[in-house]
Homo-oligomer: A and B are copies of this chain.
């Protein structure tokens, strides 16, 4: 590896091996706090080019060594944990800007570009990425694509898979793929959508051409109060049906509303909806006007800008300091995000809430909306026994995922699967679709060197 990459891009230092033993999966952070370090790479490598990625894979093939690709290691599902040891390949040094095409609103970057750098660089060109995960300060472009991420403004800008115009990737056998980056084509399966969301199990993404957007000239904030979750969701659904697409649209259930508004010094009963429209001033004013009619018709009352503006100002506060909030012995915390069509959504919400009630205090919000459905984002705080936090954590997740699958929800809306949700992949997708995924895996990575132990493969 040192011959291929240079000594400064390879490390077997014990400290590096500990650093790369985990990502931001709370289960693993809890275990480590209890002094248990379950997984460690034998070596960490930092390739700087596609050729170096291919060379590492060639060595891994020859020596049957697992390769776990990582970049910012901010994932919360264990996707970047080296379950089988071997090589951790950190792509953070592949943070090149290969092209900025302001005419076509697209850029080509390396997978190691960090969210904050991505957005700030785009802003200087009058552009926005439109992709704002709460991990904006500590996640990477490569991680977004691999985990099929969605940002907080996805209701307007779409999800990462909508932004991927082209990819370069190295397969396990060393083949380098460059997908054709035209705005669309009708020439076979969508190769971009095979690699997107594959969490490093099918190939290593080494370059991405992403669609970007004009920097918004205008921004509007609104907060609304509804009598209950069902009324608020129906208001949002009607707003979507009429064609408004707020960048932010977040409905907080009763408990989440109580805490959120209480923290602002305005305790209320009911269900809070916060909206942010951004973009062309004329168009967004029209959308907001249409949205107001839909929300009012479903029983909503406007309560000013403050709550929405406060959320906006604090929207990245949690993710990059998540490990700090696990400091209380016995306490377990996590978020669980699922999705379903409107016709199954209320049942998905109540089924999961009920299943989780014995495990944790349950808050929920609905923060990504579609014409055909929405996501649900549960925030959970549970109290276990000191030293037994991982067991309490596992029980909470089992209750959540079993309920989600039973109610026809997607086991993840935007965090991904990793090792955490792997046991539910087959039940969620069905044996048929998993057979397809496994056939694909076997065809592309017969020795199973790429990120083994993940995704239920």
Partner-B contacts on A (CB < 8 A) = 101, 103-106, 147-150, 159, 161, 165, 171, 175-191, 193-199, 202, 211, 213-214, 237, 241-244, 279-280, 282-283, 285-287, 289-290, 339-343, 368, 370-375, 408-417, 421, 425, 428-433, 435-437, 439-440, 442-444, 455
Contacts and interface: CB of A to CB of B under 8 A. Distances in A.
Contacts of A286: 282-283, 285-287
A213 B433 CA distance: 27
Contacts of A214: 241-242
Contacts of A370: 183-184
A412 B437 CA distance: 27
Contact of A372 (B104, B175, B177, B415): B104
B430 A177 contact: yes
Contacts of A237: 103
B410 A182 contact: yes
Given A177-B436, A341-B106, A371-B105, A188 B198 contact: yes
A190 B178 contact: no
A189 B429 CA distance: 11
Given A244-B283, A435-B175, A437-B188, A341 B180 contact: no
A180 B282 contact: no
Given A185-B410, A186-B197, 13 more contacts: A148-B188, A165-B341, A178-B430, A178-B432, A185-B339, A187-B411, A187-B425, A188-B197, A189-B440, A190-B190, A191-B433, A243-B283, A439-B443
Given A188-B429, A211-B371, A372-B104, A182 B341 contact: yes
A6 B194 CA distance: 39
B177 A410 contact: no
Nearest to A106: B372
Contacts of A196: 189-190
B339 A182 contact: yes
A101 B344 CA distance: 11
| Total copies of this chain within the assembly | 2
List 7 tightest A-B contacts by C-beta distance, closest first.
Answer: A185-B410, A286-B286, A177-B432, A183-B373, A193-B193, A443-B443, A182-B410
A185 to B, nearest CB: 3
7 contacts: A101-B341, A177-B436, A182-B408, A183-B373, A185-B413, A187-B421, A440-B443
Contacts of A290: 280, 282-283
B184 A241 contact: no
Given A290-B282, A439-B443, A444-B436, A372 B195 contact: no
Contacts of A184: 150, 159, 339, 368, 370, 375, 410, 413
A263 to B, nearest CB: 29
B417 A186 contact: yes
A104 B343 contact: yes
A182 B373 contact: yes
Contacts of A148: 185-188
A159 B185 CA distance: 10
Nearest to A345: B104
Contacts of A409: 182
Given A104-B372, A194-B194, A280-B243, A180 B429 contact: yes
A49 B359 CA distance: 45
A411 B374 CA distance: 35
A187 B103 contact: no
For A184, A370, A413, the residue with the greatest tally of chain B CB atoms inside 10 Å of its CB is A184
A190 B211 contact: no
Given A106-B372, A171-B436, A436-B171, A412 B186 contact: yes
Given A179-B433, A436-B444, A444-B439, A149 B186 contact: yes
Nearest to A198: B189
Contacts of A342: 103-104
A196 to B, nearest CB: 7
A333 to B, nearest CB: 21
Contacts of A443: 439-440, 442-443
Given A150-B186, A190-B197, A194-B189, A180 B430 contact: yes
